[in-house]
Structure 1
């Protein structure tokens, strides 16, 4: 999403929120967030899990809940990830907000400042504080308050095609920037016209997380910084940031990578040999990886000179809309989804994440109850990487800063700007966004 478009949406949301504050609340005269006695309660839940393989298992969980609570009816709505933020903000502006959102934690500051989120009840807060790691609690907190249930946590690692590396005579996955470049150039295959039939290293242009998250993982592994602690001043345009982006530019210039054919599907289909990607791709790899799931290798993020392998972690959470007329029932549903189904059992969300999605659940008891699902080579590597993970900073304007960095990186990829100019321009835009949100 373009920064100007995001800002426009948030301005609309803010204006309508102020207008709504002057109008009677829905169901005025009733206890807030409680439906009249004997009335059927309809809850609308919005997520981005819309693919058929993800839709059926979640609907089964929700059907289980309504069978246990026959007074509740659930309308489960899904959109693609790139449409989720727009759907949430425009629906609220139109006065037709879902009761429950599943959303990316980077959006939380704008949602909180816009008055969109309901504060969790005391029993929900107590459960989160007792059963989630400090990191997961921090990931769903803003302004000193927890705003929802942490669900999946995701980190990034280097994925590689074991078969391709073996055929190229590469004995081990690359552990450094220099090794990454060398391996990518050995693995790339060119067509007669000079285009790539196979990328040595897959790029993912056009998708903010696909561009920025791998870059930040490499930047941190090169001893660099994204934003300064507390002040959030941009630091990604420093020497380490320029060296990290130069690695990409060198790969493209030497025909070892090509953004014009970039997408994680190229790795799945055998059109790319290596990729820095999050663990949620596991379900797709198990079903569709060209050389079989057993040939998917996972390695730590390669390091720059003197760096320590570090990965980025981001989280998702369930929250409830502050304007819902059924907030009490909405929180009951969210709590049920994220609570153990029985003594020593996983929560419905934990079961869903590790089966349908192949993701790592945030709840500690889920990680324990589902240890067998998290113990294959792929998942073990990602679980281990959490020890060297750094959380994506959650701040007002964070999405816009991320978009500015994405645009700068892509400008360098396509030769529209030098590495230095691309990062300096992105940093200047980040400064503007910070000043605007201060």
Structure 2
């Protein structure tokens, strides 16, 4: 892999100085910043190395350089690269990052790349990448969350039908509490993304984080108060862990794995594997998103985004088309454990649990797109925690969070 910048530059200069026409200097160079979508580093290096070779074999006039970047510091590095107009031509981003760059005019719409296979993409994936009516990302994978649960605990508590709705979850809480089991493995630690704790309940109840115009927040409306009160009611019924306000969502070594809780409502496919290791795969169930007024599951597409400063845009678009092809995305899904963002892709050797998770793809929602979505999340989390600690009631907690959030939105900070 050509990932050692200093060595690469030195070699390129020496070849150029020697006047070697076969050096590839006449090729269009496309640099792609890739992230650890494939968790195993060895597999990741091998996979993307093969992608480079396969692409260049089909496109001999293009030199593709896949530069593998760490997740840490991602936002700052991407922003710096776009402002300085160097670093990458194509980058992998999620829908929460795209609106701010689209507003800044530092990324390029890719409707023409998506158009030939538009009907094959998951509608939710494309909708998540659309800003102002234009598509700003070519999806190459899709994440999804879904409830996972301990079948044995529900059966032992006499709950013959595993809860599929918020109301059924609440109804089951006392029966499991009688067995000293909390029905919901809710992670109340503010460091856990609300996309995997409070937001799925808010969305299921028909609520949203932001008002339609994005200039104020809406999470403290009736739907939000109802959602937080739902959690407080569960707590009163013994339906949440005793340490809910500080609890994370780790499966290994956690309450779900030790049989102290029965269900986690926003788990990943990797977590179902971890739970199976702990309690036996035969005891693990995967459900559809818990329904309130509707079913909603947090899930985001990972997309290839084109920098406006890219010198070889046509070449970069060929890279995006290749990486988003059924052949590449099928293998990426197999290696990463994520899902294709297309319906015309068959994932090789997909497990039964993974197939169950895939049923929730139709309910995938990336969250309320807003340039300050992450900042607002950090405002809400501590107030939800305060309510879980009994320091604030549901309305007081969310109103206080909304006041801070609206100030943040109006300040431009």
> Gaps spanning 5+ residues in structure 1: where?
1-34, 191-195, 340-345
1:296 alignment partner in structure 2:
284
Task: Tell me if the contact between 1:312 and 1:390 (Cα under 8 Å) persists in the aligned partners.
Answer: yes
Distance 1:418 1:407 in 2: 13
2:129 alignment partner in structure 1:
140
- Find the partner of 1:221 among 204, 223, 228: 204
Distance 2:39 2:155 in 1: 34
Q: Does 1:87 align with 2:77?
A: yes
2:29 alignment partner in structure 1:
41
Q: Any residues of structure 2 matched to 1:29-68 within 5 Å, and which?
A: 37-39=25-27, 41=29, 43-49=31-37, 51-52=39-40, 55-56=44-45, 58-65=47-54, 68=57
1:256 alignment partner in structure 2:
240
Q: Does 1:347 align with 2:334?
A: no
Cα pair distance change 1:117/1:206, threshold 3 Å: farther
2:382 alignment partner in structure 1:
407
Distance 2:189 2:94 in 1: 18
Structure 1 residue 45: Cα displacement: 1.7
Across the two proteins, how many residue pairs are aligned to each other?
Answer: 381
Could you give the per-residue CA deviations for residues 172-205 of structure 1, whole angstroms, max 9, x where no partner exists?
2223435424545655699xxxxx9x75422334
Distance 1:206 1:57 in 2: 37
Q: Does 1:423 align with 2:406?
A: no
Q: Does 1:286 align with 2:265?
A: no
Structure 1 residue 387: Cα displacement: 4.3
Distance 2:92 2:153 in 1: 38
1:177 alignment partner in structure 2:
166
- Find the partner of 1:152 among 137, 141, 147: 141
> Gaps spanning 5+ residues in structure 2: where?
1-22
Structure 1 residue 93: Cα displacement: 5.1
CA RMSD of aligned residues (A): 3.7
Distance 1:302 1:141 in 2: 27
Distance 1:121 1:300 in 2: 32
Distance 1:256 1:277 in 2: 15
Cα pair distance change 1:214/1:206, threshold 3 Å: closer
Structure 1 residue 96: Cα displacement: 4.9
SS in structure 1 opposite 2:169?
Answer: helix
Task: Tell me if the contact between 1:102 and 1:319 (Cα under 8 Å) persists in the aligned partners.
Answer: yes
Q: TM-score, normalised by structure 2?
A: 0.76
Task: Tell me if the contact between 2:30 and 2:315 (Cα under 8 Å) persists in the aligned partners.
Answer: no
SS in structure 2 opposite 1:150?
Answer: strand
Could you give the per-residue CA deviations for residues 331-375 of structure 1, whole angstroms, max 9, x where no partner exists?
322211111xxxxxx33123312x123333222322xx349838x
Could you give the per-residue CA deviations for residues 291-347 of structure 1, whole angstroms, max 9, x where no partner exists?
23343212234445xx344434433311122233444433322211111xxxxxx33
Structure 1 residue 232: Cα displacement: 6.2
Task: Tell me if the contact between 2:195 and 2:298 (Cα under 8 Å) persists in the aligned partners.
Answer: no
SS in structure 1 opposite 2:161?
Answer: coil
Task: Tell me if the contact between 1:408 and 1:422 (Cα under 8 Å) persists in the aligned partners.
Answer: yes
Cα pair distance change 1:149/1:79, threshold 3 Å: same
Q: Does 1:204 align with 2:191?
A: no
Structure 1 residue 398: Cα displacement: 2.9
Distance 2:314 2:144 in 1: 33
Structure 1 residue 136: Cα displacement: 2.7
Structure 1 residue 274: Cα displacement: 1.1
Distance 2:297 2:27 in 1: 49
Distance 2:65 2:177 in 1: 49
Structure 1 residue 87: Cα displacement: 3.3
2:109 alignment partner in structure 1:
119
Task: Tell me if the contact between 1:128 and 1:149 (Cα under 8 Å) persists in the aligned partners.
Answer: no
Cα pair distance change 1:96/1:187, threshold 3 Å: farther
SS in structure 1 opposite 2:186?
Answer: coil
Task: Tell me if the contact between 1:91 and 1:97 (Cα under 8 Å) persists in the aligned partners.
Answer: yes
2:343 alignment partner in structure 1:
364
Task: Tell me if the contact between 2:30 and 2:89 (Cα under 8 Å) persists in the aligned partners.
Answer: no
Structure 1 residue 263: Cα displacement: 1.7
SS in structure 2 opposite 1:364?
Answer: coil
Task: Tell me if the contact between 1:404 and 1:426 (Cα under 8 Å) persists in the aligned partners.
Answer: yes
Cα pair distance change 1:419/1:136, threshold 3 Å: same
